[in-house]
Structures are given as structure tokens and as C-alpha cells.
Amino acid sequence: MEKFLAQEKVAIDEKLTEHITQLNAPKSLKDSMTYSLKAGGKRIRPILLLATLKGFGKDLNKGYDIACAIEMIHTYSLIHDDLPAMDDDDLRRGQPTNHKVFGEALAILAGDGLLTYSFTMVSQLQNVEDHIKIKLVQKISQAAGPKGMVAGQVADMEAEGRDLDLEELQEIHHRKTGDLLSLSLECGALLAEASQEDMHILTRFGKHLGLAFQIKDDLLDVEGDENVLGKRVGSDATNDKNTYPKILGVEKAKETLTYHLNEAHKLLAQVDMDQTLLRQLTNYIGERIN
Amino acid sequence: MEKFLAQEKVAIDEKLTEHITQLNAPKSLKDSMTYSLKAGGKRIRPILLLATLKGFGKDLNKGYDIACAIEMIHTYSLIHDDLPAMDDDDLRRGQPTNHKVFGEALAILAGDGLLTYSFTMVSQLQNVEDHIKIKLVQKISQAAGPKGMVAGQVADMEAEGRDLDLEELQEIHHRKTGDLLSLSLECGALLAEASQEDMHILTRFGKHLGLAFQIKDDLLDVEGDENVLGKRVGSDATNDKNTYPKILGVEKAKETLTYHLNEAHKLLAQVDMDQTLLRQLTNYIGERIN
């Protein structure tokens, strides 16, 4: 799995930049879009999509463009979330945020550009049938749109300074994080032309994986190693953020993490595919140290 | 034509609101999206789409959803353009701008939501074949994206305080305004399954129409009646904006307007359709007083 992760991360990094480089658009706009795409991260969404495709025995080449499209949407959401009017973050992954480098106007437009271009990419997929492309447009726009990620961001903003219960917190995370993780699995399954049943199980698997991912994130902010994480720990508590450790306590949050990982594994076992990679990625999400 | 304009404007106004009302999204987000959708305007893009469809003898019901999707994209662009980091406008059509009422964060998210939801709408069109839906996604995302509208906004920003020549100004307007006007005609023709040749002519027609629309806008800011316009005249000059009257002088700008209207009429005459409505709309764009 390490090899798969490392190799495909490089492939995705390269392809993301290529897509923007060839655009006939103002240089400043392309620079701003590329800056945030290059800021990197784990590329967990593209990796999940590619691992799903591989698990169904399909050629990874079929998945790169749509994996890039989803990563572009993820990147757009980070750029807009970091804006002064939103979370007002100066740093992301140790680097100045987009608006700190390019100014607010260009940051807003780079986000708009990435979001819009991701749909151009879906519409231009090679070797994918039109009815699948349309399902991809539908799934992606729903996960990212006013019922999905945008709703999650609004709910998160409105929850600031108010103590949430577990159900409210889960709902926000389903929409903010879970939706794009599930989406990656579903898009992989769609491209692989998986059965309706497998698709349905993978969606449920994705929801548990998304929650596990978020709980682990919250726990790392409490117990992680600053040097490995590349960011300060304890910032959630300082900012009085609603997190799993805050609502449940650290021990119960860890139990909940284990619960979601177990449920994910149980569901994955029911999918008619080579489950090896997704199983390893599930463990990785639970055990990661950054 | 007046009847068509009035009747279809009401239909579009109603349908736009309906689409948002039925969304399972946070109330504040829906309120913010609806506020700007209701702020109205001439609905020129939906009207052009419907007029194209009618000219090809098709049922208007086939066009409402995609007409609404394009109007949502237009509305998203206005919300983001008005933001303090962009044009910093407090008023639009005499009403407070979105961020003045809902705050910057929600205004950004309402824009993001409208843009993303427009693609959900295309993916869910009824009685439209998949290969046409995919072409619609491609055309819309290209016209609105980093090669189209977003590029136009960036170029416009970067031109501030610098004197443009005519070619530069046209390029910006092609991208900022022209693209969505042409797009409306092309989407209508696509839905009507018009021939490649008619599509091609209508695209060129749309470019002239878009430029005519913009020149008329600039001229109204010089010579219009404040009471009819509902806004101050002379604001372009005050803000030292690059406009056609500024670059060409008023008389030459009027000649250029006439030139583009004539070219539009010549092209339209070549399209195999009932051209009546589009001909009247072209005249309306040149003669409008607000």
C-alpha cells in the first residue's frame, strides 16, 4: 500500500498541474489555482477513487481525470474556507494561504475557477459513456453543493460559539468531509460499473470512513506530535471548536473511532471486489500520525 | 415580443424560487441564494434561451430548467463580483447587495451554492438525452470557468487604472458578458437539436449581441435617464472605468453599437428557424432605455 500511496500521489500531483498549465486563462489566475493545488496534502480523495477502481480490476488510467476533478473541488473548498470572511486562516500545511499570497479577489476567483473547471473535466472524460458522465456530474454537484459541502460549511459557521451534540456534529462532518470521501469511492465504483448493491455498500462504507477520518483529525489535534503534524496541536481547544474529544472526551472519542473503523471493515467485506487496498487505506486512516 | 418578455420573465422568476425552496439546505443559505435570485433584472439570458427554443418550434417546457441554471450562474457571478474584495458594491438594482444583507461569508457560500447547483440541475434535466446533457455541462462550465467568465473578471480587475485599447476591452467583454449570452443561445439550439451549422451561426450572432448589449450599457451610463435606469448615471466616468464611450467617444461608440446590431441581424437571417423573436430581442437590446 505504501508504494501505491507514494506512486499515485506523484501521478496525481503531476496531472493536477498539467491540467491547469494547458488552460488558456490569465497567468495570475493559473498561478493562484496551481499554488493551492500544489500545496498538496495526502490526496486521500484521489487515492480512494483509484484504489476503488483497482479493487474492481480496472485500469487506473480511467480514473485520473475524475480523481483530479474531485481534488480540485476539495482545493476550491479549502481556498474559500480560509478566506478572512470565513475561517480567516493565514497558514495551511505550514504555507501561507492562497489569499495571503494572491489577495482575496484572486483567491475567490481561483476557487470559482477550480470548481467550475472540475465540471469541464468530467464532461471531457475519455472512454466513459455519457450516462456515466451524467451520473458523475450529478453525484459530484450534489456532494459539493448546497445540500452537501456548502451546507456543511454554513452549519459549521452557524455552530460557532455554541455547544453541539454528537448528532449535530456528525451531520456537519457528513456534509463537510464525509460527502467528498464517499463521493470518491462512489465515482470509482461508477467508473468501474459496479453493481447497484456494491455501490450502495461502498457509500455506507464511505460514511464511516469519513467520520473515522474526522475523529482521527480531532484526536491528532489533542495528542499528535507537532513535528510530525507540521502544525500546532491544541488549536481546536484554543478556538473552542466543536470536536469529538470535546463532546465525548478523549477515551470515548477513541472508542467511537474504533467503532467506525470496524463498521467500515464489516461493510467492505461485503463488496464483490479485491478489498485489499481499501482495507489497508481504512487502517491507515485510523492509524495515521499526520 | 413584449408579451413574451413579460410572460416568460414571470415564469422564470417563479421557477427560480421554486428550485431553491425545495432544497434540503440550511435556511440562511437558501434565504441568501433566493434574495439575489429575486433581485431580478431583465432575465435576458433565460429569455434568449427560450426565444431560441421557440424559434426552432420546440416546447418551452424543455428549456425552463436549463434557463434557470444559466440565470443561477449569472446570479452567482454578480454576488461574488459585488464582494468587498472585488468591486465592493453596496447596491445592485437599487437593493443592498447580498453581502450587505447576509454578510460576506454567506454571500461567498450562496454564490458557491448557486454555481454548483446549476450543474445538478443540468444533470437532472427531464426528456433530454445524455449526450446533450453532457454537451450542456461542457458548454456551461467552459463559458463560466477559468477560460470564460472567471478569466474575464480577472482581466477586468487587472485592467483597473490602466487604459485599455478596443481589442482588450472587447476580449474582456466577450468573456464577462458575451460568453453567457452566447451560451444561452447555444443551449437553446442544443436542446432544439439544431444543426451544427445553425449552432455555429448562432454562436457568432451571440458574440455580436453580447458586445451590443455591453456598448448599450456603457452608453446608458453616459446618456440614460436616472429615473428609468434606477441607478446613478456617470458612475463609470467617476470610477475611471474602461468603457466604449471612453475609448471611442460617444458618437463612435454608437456607430459600433449599430455595426454589431447589423452584423447580428445579418447572421440571424442565415439561421434555419423562425427568427422573429430573436430579431425583436436584438432590436430591444439596442433600443432599451434601462
Interface test with B, best of A123, A127, A135, A179 (most B CBs within 10 A): A123
**How far A105 CA sits from the closest chain B CA (Å)?**
5
Of B23, B28, B131, the CB nearest to A147: B23
CB-side neighbour CA atoms (13 Å) of B272: 9
pLDDT, residue B290, reads 77
Is residue A152 scored above 80 in pLDDT?
yes
Full residue range of the structural domain in which residue A178 is found: 2-287
**Count of domains in chain A?**
1
Is residue B224 scored above 90 in pLDDT?
no
**How far B142 CA sits from the closest chain A CA (Å)?**
6
From the centroid of its chain, how far is CA A237? 23
pLDDT, residue A2, reads 87
Task: Calculate mean pLDDT across residues A27-38.
Answer: 97
**How far B262 CA sits from the closest chain A CA (Å)?**
30
- Residue in B with minimal Cα distance to A24: B147
pLDDT, residue A193, reads 96
Summarised one tens digit per residue, pLDDT across range B65-118 is 999 999 999 999 999 999 999 989 898 888 999 999 999 999 999 999 999 999
pLDDT, residue A230, reads 66
Interface test with B, best of A35, A83, A115, A150 (most B CBs within 10 A): A150
Of A105, A111, A153, the CB nearest to B157: A105
Of B28, B85, B138, the CB nearest to A158: B28
The kind and range of the H/E element at A96 are: strand A95-96
pLDDT, residue B230, reads 66
Q: What is the distance between the alpha carbons of residues B118 and B69, in angstroms, rounded to a whole number?
A: 4
Interface predicted TM-score (ipTM) of this complex, two decimals: 0.95
Summarised one tens digit per residue, pLDDT across range B109-132 is 999 999 999 999 999 999 999 999
pLDDT, residue A173, reads 86
Is residue B208 scored above 90 in pLDDT?
yes
Q: Do B117 and A145 touch (CB under 8 A)?
A: yes
Identify the residue whose cell numbers are 434535466. Answer: B125
CATH of the domain at B259: 1.10.600.10
pLDDT, residue B178, reads 73
Print burial letters for B119-150: b (CB count within 10 Å at least 16), e (below 16).
bbbbbbbeebebebbbbbbbbbbbbbbbbbbb
Residue B96: strand pairing partners:
B91
Q: Do A137 and B145 touch (CB under 8 A)?
A: no
The kind and range of the H/E element at B178 are: none
Contacts of residue B258, defined as CB under 8 A and 6 or more positions apart, other chains included, come to B286
Model confidence at B233, pLDDT cuts 50, 70, 90, reads confident
Longest dimension (CA), chain B: 52
Print burial letters for A140-162: b (CB count within 10 Å at least 16), e (below 16).
bbbbbbbbbbbbbbbbbbbbeee
Is residue A229 scored above 80 in pLDDT?
no
Q: Do B111 and A116 touch (CB under 8 A)?
A: no
The kind and range of the H/E element at B31 are: helix B27-38
**Phi, psi dihedral angles at A95 (to 5 degrees):** -110, 150
Of B29, B131, B157, the CB nearest to A146: B29
Residue B91: strand pairing partners:
B96
Of A119, A146, A153, the CB nearest to B141: A119
**How far A276 CA sits from the closest chain B CA (Å)?**
34
Q: Do B26 and A151 touch (CB under 8 A)?
A: yes
- Residue in A with minimal Cα distance to B117: A145
Summarised one tens digit per residue, pLDDT across range A187-209 is 999 999 999 999 999 999 999 99
DSSP sequence for B91-151: EETTEE-HHHHH-HHHHHHHHHHHHHHHHHHHHT-TT--HHHHHHHHHHHHHHHSTTTHHH
Task: Calculate mean pLDDT across residues A183-190.
Answer: 97
Q: What is the distance between the alpha carbons of residues B61 and B68, in angstroms, rounded to a whole number?
A: 12
Residue B264's identity, in one-letter code, is A
